[in-house]
Amino acid sequence: MHASLRQAGFTLVEMMVVIVITGMISTAMYQMLQAGQATYEQNKTMVDMQQNARVGLQSLADDLRLVSYGKDPTQPSIFYAGPESVAFVADILPDEPGAEVISYFLSPDGDPDTDNPYDTVLMRVVADTSGNTLVSSTQSYGMSSYGLQFRWFNGSGVELSNPVPSPEQVGEVYIEITAAAANAIDGAYPEMSLSTTIYPRNLPLSPARSRPNTPACTGPSFPTCDSATLNWTAPTNNTDGTELPMSEISHFNFYFGTDPDDLSLYTRLARTITEWTVPDLQSGIPYYIAVSCVSRSGVESYTCQRNATLSSALVPEAPQNLIASIGTGVTLDWNAVTLFTNGDTIGTEVVYQIHRSSVDGFTPDATTLIDEVSYTTTWFDTETDGLGCGLYYYVVVAKACGNESIPSNQDDAQLPAIPACVTNIAASNGASEGEVYLSWTLPTTRTDGSPLSPGDIEYVRLYADTASGMPNDFYTTLTGAQTSVTVPYLASCATYYFNLTAIDACGHTGELCPGEEVSLFTSAPCDAEPPQPPAYVAVTEHDDYIDLEWPANSVDCDLGGYRIYYGSTPGGPYNGSDAAEGPSPIEISSDLVTYGNLCRYQLTGLGVCQEYYVKVTSIDECVPANESIGSSGEEMGQTSCVSCQIDANCVSWAVDGASNNIVHLELHANGANELLSQLQPSWSGAQALEEVWFGRPLTKIWDYDGSAGENGWYGGPANSGDPLDLSDVYVGSWTTTEDGEPFALVFDSDVRDVPLDIEFSGTAGTCSATGAGTGTISYSDFDAGMSGWTSQSGNWFVSEGELRQSYTGSNYYVQANTASQTDFTIEAKVLASGGTYHSSYIYVRYANDNNHYLAGIRTDANKVRVARIQSGSFIETGAYYTTLSDNTWYTMRVVVTGNRIRVYFDCELVIDVTDGSMLSSGQVGFVTRRASGRFDDVRIFQGEVLP
């Protein structure tokens, strides 16, 4: 029975692995795209030249072979046989009486439709015997200015003077056609020549000919299960025994079909090619392939034909290194299968069959098959409900070319998933010496996210030790219904660490999470001696609160806690009353402030720009409590006196990512650089925040696992409204970082269209920004290069996290690697500098360089504009005049819906035009028109997205 599977999400480890792999793949793809684009442009130019030359040569050769056919005996066969043109007689127009005069020559007017100033076209003129033109047409474009050359020979193969004084001596003609590139490559216009030799069949002096021998072919071989390859050897002799040098071979004809007596011409191949592969064949159908040799005089050999019916015995190798792990359900990973058992590379799709059984060492068959997947080596078994307690076994089988591999190694997973962490563990000293009271919250889910009812918890195991980490010196097992316990007989005056784990009805021991561990210093009976005071207190200043830190008292076993004195006068009186925690002195239990060897506390809700003087004393557990003689000493702290200057740009907050969503925005300081130390985001929904990144290049400044930021292990992703202590960073001034600093928040699930408020805190106060996440088709900040973009012309490159184009001689295009767009929104920062027109544009609905639409800036004319490029003509359809400057960043948003274009300039709507002649869809990108320009922070949204 096949299972329908859904992926519920990724774990952090999986996501980080995906990020690393994605980065590696992206780097490789970027390098391949760069090299591929250059190769594509060169190959396209070569193909165009080859096609132009082939068309011209074919037309001329076909007509010249008919010279003298159907003419009046009194007419000459050839009027003119020169080095660069020819005029001859032949009956090639059946509807016209008698023979015609055909002329071939290069046009002296050149080819006006290309950039090459030195190319021209091949002309063909057909006239009647009275000299009246019947047909005058261009036979081929893009010819070199010297691209038509003739050499003339008599019937014995002796070359005649050129032009030929007596054309009736001609028996053999050598023709060479040279095509030129329409556009320059590296400043030059490449050329390509094709040639052939013609033996006009109706001229009395043309020598007798025979056809080439048949190529000797072998095979076919089957490199993959859906293709066939034929190899052959070029003939070296003609059928009459004369030598056939390679230079006299024009090409090979390759034929393909299902009827051996009626094969179609599949392709023509250069004489240097001696093998060809036909792809996309189906097994069991009788195919036939054949090859023939064609001489330069146009004579074709007989074909060498072979049957190409597919019947594959190729078996894929078995998948290796199968690993089953518990996450959201069971996750399977294995190595990709790329080879057949004979060592050949697999060139077709590999299907992986997933098998599951409760029997160890099972043989996979149709009853154990639960899914089939392709193009992935990771699979998620999320449908594990109802399988019951126990081990389940998995194998994977690869299938290609209709054949199955042997099974992979077997791996197992314990189901159901183990219980999640016991949380909210709290510890306090009990009424008796060495007695500790503990409470906790039982887990309600398993580690894969599935529910865990209280009845599914059989036991709770309590760990206690004087060492932090994973204690095992002492534990006791409690019933699953318990949520508190009093632990007696612990040593006095010692620090104990406590943690718990749940055990389910299957006997599976749940997670023991280090982040849930708590510690407690055990007390002793009241000692009449006063406790020792803290050695010092340190104060850290913030916007509207101060952090206090002092060394923990580890001397007095009857320590009860501390008293915190604060006020606004040096030396006292310590009569402060404005802290949210209460008036001075604030009495706090030691277990609530002790973290290892240090104690920490915050005074919050304080006024800005205020001085506070603080000291700390110790108190014991006596009633009434004894207070230490002396204190930590006084320390002063001042809250911030400057309002926050951090702001977010007016751009939409772009969201990308699949199971993990990334919200992209930008930050800048309106004044001088500003220290950012805390973040408090809030949003609607159950999403959770996992990471925060900032800067160029992006650097992680907070992570719930404690790898960045100052919270340490956070106990899981942050919820809406949680304050996050960041690794301090400086936000650059708008005046020095024109396009802002990139800022990204990584959520564990979808936050598209979710309202998001962010409160930023630093040394200069607290401020906030509000927006909503919008899903993107494409997001590019170019901090990682040109990935996702393809240069079409010009000199496009990335520098300092910006896309740049430096040439100013023409119009230069770069295109986003997205699908053709219909209704969409694109936003980018644009800058123009130098050139003739000082202009940078976003282009939309692009069909080609001669048909698309523009929206952008022209700084020398002080205007924002919209234009239509139609059949190469520039037609301005809307303009907004404002003061613009070179080398200045401007934010532009272009909203395209139907035949309407709206342009927002620095977040204000400035142009709204409707153009009935708009193309319905097209590509998206940038263009500079005779100017250098720069672009950054591109967001492409589906549909209409307004600021």
DSSP state letters, 691-729: EEEETTTTEEEEETTSSSSSS---SSSBPTT--EEEEEE
Dihedral Cα 9, 12, 17, 18, nearest 10 deg: 40
In this predicted structure, the answer to whether residue 277 has a pLDDT above a threshold of 50 is: yes
Write the secondary structure of 881-935 as one string of H (helix), E (strand) and C (coil): ECCCCCCCCEEEEEEEECCEEEEEECCEEEEEEECCCCCCCEEEEEEEECCEEEE
Q: Report the C-alpha gap between 853 and 865 in whole angstroms.
A: 11
**Tokens matching residue 56:** 């011209």
In this predicted structure, the answer to whether residue 907 has a pLDDT above a threshold of 60 is: yes
Confidence class for position 5, pLDDT limits 50, 70, 90: very low
pLDDT for 272 equals: 92
Tell which residue, 280, 267, 275, has the closest CA to residue 227: 280
Instruction: Give the strand order in the sheet containing 423-429.
Output: 423-429, 436-441, 484-487
Cβ pair 148, 113 in contact under 8 A:
no
Q: What is the mean pLDDT of residues 225-237?
A: 90
Q: Report the C-alpha gap between 264 and 865 in whole angstroms.
A: 54
Higher pLDDT: 282 or 361? It is: 361
Instruction: Give the distance between the most distant pair of CA atoms in the chain.
Output: 144
pLDDT for 755 equals: 81
Q: Report the C-alpha gap between 435 and 452 in whole angstroms.
A: 32
pLDDT for 743 equals: 85
Instruction: Give the strand order in the sheet containing 559-567.
Output: 586-589, 559-567, 611-620, 635-638
In this predicted structure, the answer to whether residue 735 has a pLDDT above a threshold of 60 is: no
Alpha carbon separation from 912 to 323, 854, 866, 874 (Å, rounded) = 58, 13, 9, 18
Q: Report the C-alpha gap between 278 and 274 in whole angstroms.
A: 14
**Tokens matching residue 131:** 């000299």
Alpha carbon separation from 237 to 211, 233, 242, 245, 475 (Å, rounded) = 9, 12, 6, 8, 94
In this predicted structure, the answer to whether residue 609 has a pLDDT above a threshold of 70 is: no
Q: What is the mean pLDDT of residues 97-113?
A: 89
> How do beta strands 653-656 and 765-780 pair?
parallel
Q: What is the pLDDT of residues 290-342, one digit of tens each?
A: 999 998 877 888 899 999 887 667 788 999 999 988 765 788 999 999 998 98
Q: Report the C-alpha gap between 614 and 632 in whole angstroms.
A: 9
**Tokens matching residue 120:** 């021209």
- 3-state DSSP call for residue 544? coil
Higher pLDDT: 8 or 414? It is: 414
Give the helix ranges, DSSP H, for 621-667: none
Q: Report the C-alpha gap between 38 and 882 in whole angstroms.
A: 39
pLDDT for 6 equals: 43
In this predicted structure, the answer to whether residue 383 has a pLDDT above a threshold of 80 is: no
Write the secondary structure of 296-347 as one string of H (helix), E (strand) and C (coil): CCCCECCCEEEECCCCCCCCECCCCCCEEEEECEEEEECCCCCEECCCCECC
pLDDT for 62 equals: 86
Q: What is the mean pLDDT of residues 845-868?
A: 94
Which amino acid makes up residue 16?
A: M
pLDDT for 308 equals: 87
Tell which residue, 797, 763, 801, has the closest CA to residue 780: 801
Mean pLDDT lowest among 129-138, 698-707, 735-744, 846-855: 735-744
Half-sphere exposure of 317 (CA within 13 A, CB side): 16
Q: Report the C-alpha gap between 532 and 620 in whole angstroms.
A: 10
Q: Report the C-alpha gap between 177 and 194 in whole angstroms.
A: 5
Q: Report the C-alpha gap between 932 and 844 in whole angstroms.
A: 20
Q: Report the C-alpha gap between 87 and 78 in whole angstroms.
A: 6
In this predicted structure, the answer to whether residue 928 has a pLDDT above a threshold of 50 is: yes
Q: What angle do CA 268, 272, 275 make, to 5 degrees?
A: 70
Q: Report the C-alpha gap between 766 and 21 in whole angstroms.
A: 38
Residues 6+ apart with CB under 8 A from 62: none
Q: What is the pLDDT of residues 627-653, one digit of tens each?
A: 999 999 999 988 765 444 455 554 567
Which amino acid makes up residue 482?
A: Q
Residues 6+ apart with CB under 8 A from 394: 322, 324, 330, 332, 354, 355, 356, 381, 410, 411, 412, 413
Query: What DSSP state is assigned to residue 212?
Result: B
Q: What is the mean pLDDT of residues 458-486?
A: 82
Q: What are phi and psi of 38, to 5 degrees?
A: -60, -45
Q: What is the mean pLDDT of residues 380-389?
A: 73
Average pLDDT, the chain: 86
What's this model's pTM, rounded to 2 decimal places?
0.36
pLDDT for 129 equals: 79
Dihedral Cα 672, 677, 680, 681, nearest 10 deg: 70
Q: Report the C-alpha gap between 450 and 331 in whole angstroms.
A: 15
Q: What is the pLDDT of residues 527-568, one digit of tens each?
A: 889 999 999 999 988 767 899 999 999 888 888 999 999 999
Half-sphere exposure of 778 (CA within 13 A, CB side): 26
